[in-house]
Amino acid sequence: MAVKEDDRAQFEAFGDLGFDGQDREILVGLSYEETEWYLDVLERERSGESVTEAEIDWKSVLIDRHNAARLKLTEAAYEVRFRAPWARENWVGGNPRSTNIPPSAAATARRFRARRETA
């Protein structure tokens, strides 16, 4: 199952897409088969079809793996862009000047975290 054009813009905006060793489009961090399975379950959920508890659990595992891969890509892009290592401590609530994170990025992250905590 290929990525639907309706989803492509969002996947591309968040750096979700990549290619495997056979030049097939995948969600980063997942195999081609896992990507196919994930997109199928996602489509079934959107259409209102029932999804089993086991499918929901496996989808959650795949999402975690996908997000971990996206984070690694973000870290690598940061290190290339700013020629500095990605600081791993919690910079959102702390002093952003003590890390390599730009103050504007820390301020944005604090605003998003505050919104999420009040929601």
Domain map of the chain by residue range?
1-80, 87-119
pLDDT band at 85 (very low <50, low <70, confident <90, very high): confident
Model pLDDT, residue 87: 66
pLDDT band at 84 (very low <50, low <70, confident <90, very high): confident
Which of the two residues, 118 and 60, has the higher pLDDT score? 60
Helices and strands (DSSP H and E) totals, the chain: 4, 2
Q: Tell me: pLDDT of 26 over 70.
A: yes
Could you list the beta-strand ranges (E) of 4-114: 17-19, 25-27
Burial class (CB in 10 A: 0-12, 13-18, 19+), 56: exposed
Q: Degrees (nearest 5) of the Cα angle 50, 18, 9?
A: 65
Cα(34)–Cα(64) distance, integer angstroms: 13
Does the pTM exceed 0.95?
no
Average pLDDT for 33-58: 95
Cα(11)–Cα(16) distance, integer angstroms: 5
Please give the share of the chain, as a percent, with pLDDT higher than 70.
72
Model pLDDT, residue 107: 66
